[in-house]
Amino acid sequence: MKILRKVLCIIIKPICYVLAKIIYRVKIEGIENVPKDSACVICGNHIHAMDAPVLLAVTNRKIRFMAKEELWKSLGFRFMAFLYQVFPVKRGKNDSEAIKVAFKILKNNEILGMYPEGTRNGLARNIKPKNGAVNIAIRAGVPIIPFGVDGTFKPFKRVTYRFGKPLDFSEYKNQVKEKEVLDKLTKEVMDKVIELRDKNKSGQ
């Protein structure tokens, strides 16, 4: 399976890169904030089914995204998940297997991708962000890199990914079981994500 994945990556990833650049005119800002060879958790706003696949197509570093298991019903998604090693999580069930995979990814100095909203446009629908990303980052001793996605994913319209500076929550290691602390830190992450998403709109 590993050999098959490598062959497919060699053939398909360059095509995905070109298509993403042409169709979505992808622009990435602040990529220097993402560690080049160490672990981190990246957290962003989830606005479209394509926001993770497009990001995976245009970045050099390997990012392993966690995604809800319901998506595996789609044959197209299963292929994408195989190609980019996306892994499933059973939402709302304290999925210990998914958490183990997440920690293994970080232990291997890879990047873990998570969407605290838990669904598309969760912020706009006033859905409370999940604390999982902050919890995992603190327990693994790695920073969180917030990113904002700005765009509509309409063909030939610009989509911009903006990465912010690392957020280090290591001082909260002994408070990782306190829900109020996790809620506060998750809000801090999402506030930064919104700021990055709206950077041009606010004239910053």
Give how far the C-alpha of residue 9 lies from the chain's centroid of Cα atoms, to the nearest Å.
20
The reported pLDDT for the residue numbered 95 is: 82
* pLDDT-based confidence at residue 202 (cuts at 50, 70, 90): low
- What's the CATH number of domain 2-202, 3.50.50.60, 1.10.645.10, 3.40.1130.10, 3.20.20.70? 3.40.1130.10
- Give, for 44, the enclosing helix (H) or strand (E): strand 40-44
* pLDDT-based confidence at residue 141 (cuts at 50, 70, 90): very high
Query: Does the pLDDT of residue 204 top 70, yes or no?
Result: no
The reported pLDDT for the residue numbered 201 is: 73
Query: Does the pLDDT of residue 114 top 60, yes or no?
Result: yes
Strand order in the sheet with 40-44: 27-29, 160-163, 144-150, 40-44, 111-114, 63-68, 87-89
The mean of the pLDDT values for the chain is: 92
**C-alpha distance from residue 56 to each of 41, 82, 189 (Å):** 14, 13, 21
Q: CA nearest 16: which of 46, 50, 58, 52?
A: 58
* pLDDT-based confidence at residue 135 (cuts at 50, 70, 90): very high
Percent of the chain, pLDDT > 70?
Answer: 99
* Structure-model confidence comparison of residues 166 and 91, the more confident one: 166
Report which residue type is found at 169. Answer: F
Q: Is the dihedral of CA 30, 33, 39, 41 positive or negative?
A: negative
pTM: 0.93
The reported pLDDT for the residue numbered 121 is: 86
- Return the domain boundaries, the chain: 2-202
